[in-house]
Structure 1
């Protein structure tokens, strides 16, 4: 569930309550500096580059038209696939895409096979969950970087009842009249995550059915520990947990991360959508309104009172965190690391700084919200895994403010610092991290166009920020990293820490790509001029930097694909040299699906992709299918294409046909 600017498959009807933060002091308009930064860099294709075209005269023709096909390949050498929308997936010639695991397939030893007509919560808790999002890979044994045998970590973000269950259709639009407690319990079991042992033999990957590490993590069956500065706060205590240190489950896990010590970070995103009740007059009214609680996207509060904010006033404060899982101990208790802040987390990718401290980058995926980083207090110990297991419990959370001179400042969210005082409702660091958004508002952070995945590159030490879209940004409120209003297609911001120091308080920033169709002057897109008719994309979401240092970007357009005319997919994007900003299409999803992941093996010979919610987003816009998908009548039955079998979110693994490195 990506809150796709009004186009999400779940919750679009409720987005009107998610307002621009009232406490936010918008930074200065950067329209002029954005134009200046376009003009000073490599000449880019698209409407926003027209000023540069005029200024540089014939230079554009020399850079664009004179390039040979060989030169235009850059580091991405494959025959590009075409834009389009249909019922199946497509991958670049010379590569094969095989389904590795589907919703409902067994995960833990002894799990039953999937029976779509006779689902139960007990079975689902042992099977692969729904809407697989983040993918992480850790070689076995740990520390070996084994490219052929490892653990695959998968987030299960949300559920789509209309194509999961027979005979009920879309429920949230009509008050959940057909949702029963049994169906809700299946949904809860389908959330969370999976840890799966996978192995390659020859050209084929498979699941190790009796893998000793195989595990399901769910919303209603997995106990978790709250750690860090908010643990034990009165605001986290409930009727069943008077300590404020233990909770049940995790929800809406979007992107995530794998730490250098081999743990799995699950990022809780749109947690607000699971709660019901009335917020006016609530003791957490300011806090909950800032996060959109209650969202009312699910019927969970009808059967589980902990999701009713009036029955359990503090339960919503126990979600919106980063959850750390020890994947090498399937009996371990996952920990919600509150020092990393509470917001709608999209991703938690880390890098070891030059001084040994751990830096984790995170986006808050909502219109006009913020970009964060967490810097650990302690240093990473590469020789002692156990010494790193609680390293994320102490450190400093920062939020970004972008400046008109091309710099960006990281502002610390520390109790007593600046406006983060009792006069503004912050009596402790617990209050600061629980209400991280309000704290960031007061500090004057830069409101962004839905910051999603944030990926640091160990090759270049630069940081790539996916900004997905923001149709509510007005033309008079644009700024440097958010140069368009309204913004239907998103952009990619590149941040550079000085001398590779990710603990620095001031970075520089630039725009790598401004997404959308560059042939439409009104869109204002920007790419390298060699980018083809199929190389442009809309709504960047997840990304990966492969072991060769190449950037790969996947998209999440929601129903917005009707404006681009193509399904979501995966593109390779050059970040350096003369080809900077060059984009090339590699993979395309079936209709209504979103592409997540992506994750490479350490030798770049295999690529795991997550295909979630096939047949849901925007199917009404598909010619010949002017209706909503249902279990009985979906837009596609991918990947099984079997009558009676619903569409199934799945993980796909891509291999090059000659066994070589992907995309070369």
Structure 2
């Protein structure tokens, strides 16, 4: 399908679903050796095609019980059998959220909630950019927490706002991508822009154990692509390709956008990852199929590799900097990782070009055994790559020294080999093919064109690498969401299934337990999907119940007990599982390795993001974005696309005058105590 066909396809219920379908088309031409090829070579094509592994591989992945234990019913696994002590939630899909028995899941922040003392109350029928810049933004994704006191009873919540859904955000508007954005005005575009970016909100826990927003918190603020000035640093700062008419120095930029997952640094700053930045750029020059005509663009090859301009928003109609016909270099100023100091509202956020330019899903940090900062990052696209960054200096108590750690270091891209070995390839100008003769005149070019540089190095194309969570022992877990574009003749690729809708999780063990190592080993933790269907080819610990398996792993987190929690993003394809997106506890060690339990699930059409635990493990923050939008044609009894006036759910308010509102949920144990312990 071309862009026009996807937009007009009756199966796409909203702009977000059309965007997802269009992005399903790989931008990477370097598909000779994918991660699926590696898995197939390591475990054997015949076994993968059957949806099973050999005896030795199965034992290695899931323990000896995988060969003999019967599959139990949901009630057969007692909480004491694993590290996750809670009664498993029943799977399903309906208008509201659900959490395991014995826990409360309270709404803490909703789109439009005032977050500053002078903010107006939310008026959904009279939205404005001015009001939105003082209110909680739209589609909350990553959530981080910075304690403000020793007890951890006060803190700053740092929340990314990824994108907007016009169909359910604005009254009377409807789908805009099908109408060439005819209904969008400058006022609506500016309101959309104001709803992107991030929020810093002070919160406090009361004597009853419940968290509340501190509306007059002095550090409360909004960050947006409409008004927040940022500094560009690192090797690409000041490069001619980063210069625009508004910023001839190439060192200052307004805002950040499509902030998906992220991370927190050891010194308490917040990393905002810019993901699908390409969709925000516009061109007036289209071919007969509605595709951007890049024939006059000097960087046409680079733009195509990044899928830009996507033309999924009308921002370029009203803001020249988002129109590549007028400001082509502005495109190069997005796709980075942004560092924000949430405790200092006067500190200018920084875009760190040393971490590379691609569709950053997240930026999860750890400290290596030698004291260096390591950041794991996935490029969330089919057949793109897994990265990590290692600082030159070490983490210390010196703020000035820590400030340089994200500016001075080496970016690596992963190659997964057939024997289970892992090699991190340095993206360094002058090394290997990264030379001027091959189009990389400097380290700035290597980083601006990170995808092209990784192509040249022969990195392993992956199946949508999203969040990657490191653990202190040199282990990291990579969430590979899906790849519905994998064809049957590519099944000998490391995601071993053609047209995989369900994804898998890879475990990395860095050499010597050192996250800064340039070599390591990898294995599969789980292959997702329904294990009862042989054609799906899923692999779980056999103790996993029908409630516990899931599809499309996306975000993940470790709690204070060192346990892995995984949230899902099935997009419009949740009808393939019948399950709403949710949060699962996944065993990574011992006899129950590969076992999963359902703890929380979203309302229909919503995606679960976050998750983030407080240091005492007594509070879990979750973000539900775009409730009532994705795949609502699959909801029995509704079976149509949602609109502002007619949504599949009005979660969380259930007010007939209010559309669904993306919200942050705070989970606590009834009566107090640690979660799932």
Same fold (TM over 0.5): yes
Match of 1:165 in 2: 170
Match of 1:275 in 2: 281
2:456 aligns with one of 442, 447, 450: 442
The alignment status of 1:332 with 2:335, answered yes or no, reads no
Give the 3 Å change call, closer, same or farther, for CA 17–87 of structure 1 in structure 2.
closer
Where do residues 94-133 of structure 1 align in structure 2 (5 Å cutoff)? 94-133=102-141
The question of whether the paired residues in 1 share the 8 Å contact of 2:334 and 2:357 is answered with: yes
Where do residues 341-490 of structure 1 align in structure 2 (5 Å cutoff)? 341-381=356-396, 383-458=397-472, 460-479=473-492, 481-490=494-503
Higher mean displacement: 124-133 or 201-210? 201-210
Q: Shift in Å at residue 177 of structure 1?
A: 1.2
Give the 3 Å change call, closer, same or farther, for CA 604–477 of structure 1 in structure 2.
same
The question of whether the paired residues in 2 share the 8 Å contact of 1:538 and 1:555 is answered with: yes
Match of 2:51 in 1: 48
Give the 3 Å change call, closer, same or farther, for CA 148–49 of structure 1 in structure 2.
farther
**Alpha-carbon deviations, 1:410-443, whole Å to 9, x = none?**
0000001111111111000000000000000010
The question of whether the paired residues in 2 share the 8 Å contact of 1:568 and 1:594 is answered with: yes
Q: Shift in Å at residue 24 of structure 1?
A: 4.9
Match of 1:498 in 2: 511
**Alpha-carbon deviations, 1:544-593, whole Å to 9, x = none?**
01110000000000111100001000000000011100000000100100
Q: How many residues are paired up?
A: 650
The alignment status of 1:266 with 2:275, answered yes or no, reads no
The alignment status of 1:590 with 2:603, answered yes or no, reads yes
Cα distance in 1 between the residues matched to 2:374 and 2:554? 21
Cα distance in 2 between the residues matched to 1:84 and 1:584? 14
3-state SS of 1:347 partner: coil
Give the 3 Å change call, closer, same or farther, for CA 243–485 of structure 1 in structure 2.
same
3-state SS of 1:392 partner: coil
2:22 aligns with one of 8, 11, 15: 15
Q: Shift in Å at residue 283 of structure 1?
A: 1.4
3-state SS of 1:345 partner: coil
**Alpha-carbon deviations, 1:34-85, whole Å to 9, x = none?**
436999xxxx9x9633643999899646444699734773011211111111
Q: RMSD over aligned Cα, in angstroms?
A: 2.4
3-state SS of 2:178 partner: coil
The question of whether the paired residues in 1 share the 8 Å contact of 2:168 and 2:644 is answered with: yes
TM-score by length of 1: 0.94
Match of 2:6 in 1: none
Cα distance in 2 between the residues matched to 1:32 and 1:495? 18
The question of whether the paired residues in 2 share the 8 Å contact of 1:14 and 1:295 is answered with: no
1:575 aligns with one of 578, 588, 591: 588
Match of 2:551 in 1: 538
Cα distance in 2 between the residues matched to 1:412 and 1:473? 28
TM-score by length of 2: 0.92
Give the 3 Å change call, closer, same or farther, for CA 612–365 of structure 1 in structure 2.
same
**Alpha-carbon deviations, 1:312-356, whole Å to 9, x = none?**
010000000000001111111100000000000010001011111
3-state SS of 1:432 partner: helix
Give the 3 Å change call, closer, same or farther, for CA 247–61 of structure 1 in structure 2.
closer
Match of 1:252 in 2: 258
Give the 3 Å change call, closer, same or farther, for CA 246–89 of structure 1 in structure 2.
same
3-state SS of 1:579 partner: coil
Give the 3 Å change call, closer, same or farther, for CA 204–243 of structure 1 in structure 2.
same
Give the 3 Å change call, closer, same or farther, for CA 520–27 of structure 1 in structure 2.
closer
3-state SS of 1:431 partner: helix
Higher mean displacement: 470-479 or 244-253? 470-479
The question of whether the paired residues in 1 share the 8 Å contact of 2:137 and 2:161 is answered with: yes
The alignment status of 1:93 with 2:101, answered yes or no, reads yes
Q: Shift in Å at residue 23 of structure 1?
A: 4.1
The alignment status of 1:196 with 2:196, answered yes or no, reads no
